[in-house]
Amino acid sequence: MSEFSAMDNAEIKIERTSIEFEDFKKFIIGDRKFDKQYSNIYIARLRALKNILENKSKEKWGQYQVKTISQLGDDDDDESKAEKLVILIGIIYKHQELKPSILKELSDELQLIPQLSRSNYSSEKDQLFLEDEMLRVKLVGSDLNHKEMVTGLICGVLGYQSSGGIFNVKDYCVPGICPQASECSPLMFPSEDKILILLLSGLDLSGNPDSLHYQLLSEWISGMAGNNQVQENSAFIAQVIIAGNSIKGSVETYTHKGYVDSKNKFTATTTKTILATRRFDTLLSEIVSTSNVILMPGQFDPSNHSIPQQPFHPSILPLSFRRKKNLRYKSLYAATNPWIGKIGSRILAGSSGQPIEDIMKVANLNEYSPIDWLEKSLYWRHFAPTAPDTLAAYPYVETDPFIMDECPDIYFVGNTNEYATKCVTGDQGQTVRLICIPKFSKTHTAVVVDLLSLDTWPITFQN
């Protein structure tokens, strides 16, 4: 339990709320082997969710038979279309001409055919297919919005096969929110009026070297700012979660053209990154001296590029990971991205933003916000369905760790443009608080969550 002193007429000592913490370590990679095909992860995903979708499909369309794609031609031609309705379960593949290609990237690098970078891959020419372990069939139908679908989604479809091997879809279903283990009981928490966690994202110390907002943030968390009442309120923060892009919020790209100038720019960028890392280390060491922190890497932080990103190495942040020589802060925990764990009796899960950002590129639906896609991924029962198609991921073989096996009480995404929240209730009474954490470097805003009530609100640090 941390203590900090507060000064207001008289010095008082305030004890910070303490709570148990557990990392499920679902995304820790052991032996790193890259000699396997990426198709294995799709097969593992399908096998893990197939039975769930079969039961879901029977509940929704109980009178129809579940078939494989290879069994579609077994029907008699004399039967009516209504009688030929069947259920297929498989993996959605979304064919997109604008999707990144390694051959296109190679051509761009060699300056053979210049390729424009795109913020989205969607077009009216996109086509949907359904795959299983053996075959693929094209999906058509006015009831199927291809913009709401992404490659890698496990889906059940109801329809019939027409000429040309095309499957006409009448309806479809997704796995749905996974069951919640048990309801949260206040008795599993310390006897406090409230227990708070603070969610931060997109600090980007490289792009904001001299901002006062970070100092205000550190002083507020540490209990050095405000009167006694403000300091007592900040003492209820039992855990701080920093969801990625703490050191950098973007990255520069260079081509072979103008190599010398690019090399000079690269050297300057490297120096800037080193200085930003030191600034973040100093800021983080101030916070962990009084608070418990879960630190997740982000897309532009010094970690592996593909998800799941592994925890920060202690050598990158020596001040924050060490106090004296080999004595390390127990209040700092380096986590993966994505991450899932338990604080008290609440299950928290989320990412630093790449899965939702990639889904938005694939879909390009302006009427859907990040909070909407976060909700959809909850019903899809998958943290990153577009991995490894358009989102780089480790080539898992036997299992797909991105499948949601536990229903989170709090499900967040970092590095969004603005704060948003929503409470979702599942078919079985599951209650999930969805949170979009805004980029602190742009909004100077963090998010506070009450673990007991699941209430949430933003807090902004202005000059």
pLDDT digits (tens, 9 = 90+) for 272-329: 888 889 999 999 999 998 899 999 999 999 999 999 999 999 999 998 887 555 556 6
pLDDT digits (tens, 9 = 90+) for 340-391: 999 999 999 999 999 999 999 888 777 899 999 999 999 999 999 999 998 9
CA 165 to chain centre: 36
pLDDT value of residue 453: 93
Q: What is the DSSP pairing of strand 456-460 with strand 136-140?
A: unpaired
Number of residues assigned to the chain: 463
The tokens of 436 are what?
């979009």
The tokens of 169 are what?
């879809």
pLDDT value of residue 162: 83
pLDDT digits (tens, 9 = 90+) for 182-241: 555 444 555 557 899 999 999 999 877 667 889 999 989 887 776 667 777 788 899 999
Residue type (1 letter), 174: V
The helix/strand/coil state of 309 is strand
C-alpha pair distances (Å), 111 with each of 104, 257, 449: 10, 8, 49
0.75 cut: is pTM over it?
yes
